Chains A and B, each alone.
Chain A
Amino acid sequence: MMTIEQNFDSKPSLLGTSELLFTGLTLLSIIGLSFGLHSLLVGHHHTFGTTREVPWGILITPYVFFACLSTGLCIISSLGQVFRIEIFQPIIPRTVFLSLATMATGLMCITLELENPWRVGLNALSSPHPASNIWWKTTIYSLFLIFMLFNFLALLVKNEKMARFFAIIAFITVTMGNLNMKSDMALLGERGFWNENYMPLYFLSLSTLCGCAAVILFTWAAKLLKGKPMNRAEELAIQSTGRLFMVLLLAIAYFTGIKVMGGFFPEFTKNPEAMYNLVQGNFFLNFWIGEVGLAVVLPLILIGVAGVQNRTTMAIASISCLVGSFVLFYDLVIVGQLIPHYYQYNVVDLPQYYPYSPSLHEIMITTGAIFFFLAAFIFGEIVLKKMKIKS
């Protein structure tokens, strides 16, 4: 299991700046999220770019992105905690905390996306609808957050048995949530964009890919903050994560290839209009630069050239992959909704695609959520250092 640092490093470090950084990021987060509170007060109709035809906007993106990222982080932490693979054990505490923080961020985003979030707790319990995948997803992710919190607390008090118990149930829970996501979205009849057979495996691979990228990036960032090098065990853990990252990049490259086929040849997809819009239409820059270039090709080239030993290159590859994946999730949420409902009925004056662009409020909330997560990461590093957990 994890190793506890007996001789806490008391050398001067940059951690003094961590508190400052934490304060700055928290303030930025509050500014961004205050736009969410304003929207709740005046109504989304006045502040969001969503419409009757495109009811889901950019705010669904950070929700899905952070939920999938959390899933991936939980899977990486489970390699050491649940499956007891020794090489991954040095990175358990940070990975568990990041998983907790990302899920909290995701749930916060979806809360601010709802028109009446205060009704969720009461009505989800008093009037549950087990046939609804949305109900399952909210319930599963809320439970996961609780399990992961107990997992982290058990790690802090160094109760390994308890930590592993919660790690196992959190792992099972979040995998269920991830597999449920395809069913959830595929139900949206008209918006059949999600309704591809490969989606469950795609979501799981993508989540694990994002998890690998986050582990590599934030371990590198944590060492930069602390001003001390990685120890050998951590280096080996990151290198193994890097190899897994490489394999998953190839898997996602394969799925991206399927999308390209769907975009050029309608017979390869159930959603030819949406795939055309993604690959050759208005979203082609998002697709080719974001989903292909940043998410897959650039990380593959960087790691291919520099190898998994070069930590800075690995960190750059991870940032590129995470940014590209964010664009990917944005496309996944929006593109399918832009296809007009009655496009096959020769309706006069029907636009080729419904319009949607995020409003200032939506962008500020999304940015606030990202700052919230970064502040949580710094907070986690401070906690891990104060509790003398080696990570």
Chain B
Amino acid sequence: MKITNLKNLKNEGTENLPSKERRCFLQLGLSITGVFLGGTILSLTSAHNATGALSGGKILTTKSPYSPHYTMVIREKHCIGCEKCMEACRSTNKVPDDGFRTTVLERSVPVAPDHRERVFMPILCNHCNNAPCVRVCPTRATYKDTVNGIVQMNTDKCIGCKTCMTACPYNARYFDEAIRAVDKCNFCYNSKLKESNGKTTACASACPANVRVFGDLTDPTSHAYKLIHTSGKVFWVLRPELDTLPNVFYVES
């Protein structure tokens, strides 16, 4: 039909619309709305707020949800890049040759115009309170220890989807072919911490410059506690913008 012919037709009006057509139209609209609403609700149901005790660079002012609350403070300027921490970690935790639980990065930091300073930055699992790896694991193979706050692995449950490796913003995870599961730093929980009643980790004890200070955030006598609970002391966490609430802190000295 031509458009010009349409103009000559009489307007039938909505009052003459058969009730069946109205019902069909309403049914269609409600169905589409229902589907989108249902889908949106489901896509949001799994979102939940993690109970974070620490935020990036903020001092703990509320009671810690863990006891002991294990932490590591890195005195960055002291690191000489000898990598003894890496060797100790590898031999203590049977880390495969192609993996690592901790490593030392070298940074070239601009400190003035045309002047850069070399700084070593040790990195390891941050045992985040709001850990992306814990959140994404479909089988709870990765979990946050409710007692001490360590992000642990139950390797028997790991399906090898590697979502946790993709999700970790700190590159702290690796796939161990020998056990056919993802593995990571657990503050030497199985190899040292469990037996020696929570004193230290392999990397911390191997460090000749005392860069790594392992301790308990709920113990005011702990060296780690004192390092970050001193008035005026500057400390920071890695990638605070992601709001992962790390438990590894960095201080200058």
- Interface residues of chain A, those whose CB is within 8 Å of chain B, are 43-45, 50, 52-53, 55-56, 82-84, 113-117, 119-120, 123-124, 127-136, 138, 171-172, 175-176, 178-180, 182-183, 187-191, 200, 337, 341-342, 345-350
Q: Are B107 and A347 in contact (CB under 8 A)?
A: yes
17 A-B residue pairings within 8 Å (CB atoms) = A52-B99, A115-B162, A132-B136, A134-B163, A172-B34, A175-B35, A175-B36, A176-B38, A176-B39, A187-B136, A189-B167, A191-B166, A341-B170, A341-B171, A345-B107, A348-B106, A349-B106
Q: Are A129 and B160 in contact (CB under 8 A)?
A: no
How long is the Cα–Cα vector from A311 to B163 in the complex, in angstroms? 42
Cβ–Cβ < 8 Å partners of A172 in chain B = 34-35, 38-39
Minimum Cβ distance to chain A for residue B80 (Å): 15
Query: Given known contacts A129-B140, A136-B42, A172-B34, what 15 new A-B pairs fall within 8 Å (CB)?
Result: A52-B173, A119-B157, A123-B159, A124-B159, A128-B139, A132-B136, A132-B138, A133-B43, A134-B137, A183-B44, A189-B132, A189-B167, A189-B242, A190-B242, A348-B118
How long is the Cα–Cα vector from A154 to B159 in the complex, in angstroms? 35
Minimum Cβ distance to chain B for residue A158 (Å): 24
Cβ–Cβ < 8 Å partners of A136 in chain B = 42, 46
Q: Are B171 and A45 in contact (CB under 8 A)?
A: no
Q: Are B39 and A116 in contact (CB under 8 A)?
A: no
Minimum Cβ distance to chain B for residue A354 (Å): 10
Cβ–Cβ < 8 Å partners of A191 in chain B = 166-167
Q: Are A135 and B167 in contact (CB under 8 A)?
A: no
Q: Are A347 and B106 in contact (CB under 8 A)?
A: yes
Minimum Cβ distance to chain B for residue A106 (Å): 15
Partner of B166, one of A115, A117, A132, A337: A337
Interface residues on B, range: 35 or more
- Interface residues of chain B, those whose CB is within 8 Å of chain A, are 24, 28, 31-32, 34-36, 38-40, 42-48, 98-99, 105-110, 116, 118, 121, 123, 132, 135-141, 157-163, 165-171, 173-175, 177, 180-181, 238-239, 242, 244
Partner of B39, one of A50, A132, A178, A188: A178
Known A119-B139, A132-B46, A175-B39: A188·B167 in contact at CB below 8 Å: yes
For B46, B132, B135, B177, the residue with the greatest tally of chain A CB atoms inside 10 Å of its CB is B46
Minimum Cβ distance to chain B for residue A187 (Å): 6
How long is the Cα–Cα vector from A349 to B118 in the complex, in angstroms? 12
The residue on B at minimum CB distance from A131 is B46
The residue on B at minimum CB distance from A125 is B139
Q: Are A347 and B105 in contact (CB under 8 A)?
A: yes
How long is the Cα–Cα vector from A60 to B40 in the complex, in angstroms? 24
Q: Are A114 and B161 in contact (CB under 8 A)?
A: yes
The residue on A at minimum CB distance from B176 is A45
Minimum Cβ distance to chain A for residue B31 (Å): 6
How long is the Cα–Cα vector from A120 to B138 in the complex, in angstroms? 9
The residue on A at minimum CB distance from B107 is A346
Partner of B158, one of A119, A132, A179, A337: A119
Minimum Cβ distance to chain A for residue B210 (Å): 23
How long is the Cα–Cα vector from A135 to B164 in the complex, in angstroms? 13
The residue on A at minimum CB distance from B44 is A183
How long is the Cα–Cα vector from A345 to B175 in the complex, in angstroms? 25
Cβ–Cβ < 8 Å partners of B171 in chain A = 52-53, 341-342
Q: Are B39 and A179 in contact (CB under 8 A)?
A: yes
How long is the Cα–Cα vector from A176 to B37 in the complex, in angstroms? 9
How long is the Cα–Cα vector from A55 to B158 in the complex, in angstroms? 15
Q: Are B132 and A187 in contact (CB under 8 A)?
A: yes
Cβ–Cβ < 8 Å partners of A114 in chain B = 159-161
How long is the Cα–Cα vector from A52 to B174 in the complex, in angstroms? 6
How long is the Cα–Cα vector from A188 to B157 in the complex, in angstroms? 21
For B32, B123, B132, B160, the residue with the greatest tally of chain A CB atoms inside 10 Å of its CB is B160
Cβ–Cβ < 8 Å partners of B40 in chain A = 179, 200
Cβ–Cβ < 8 Å partners of A124 in chain B = 138-139, 159
Minimum Cβ distance to chain B for residue A192 (Å): 9
Q: Are B159 and A133 in contact (CB under 8 A)?
A: no
Cβ–Cβ < 8 Å partners of A347 in chain B = 105-108, 121
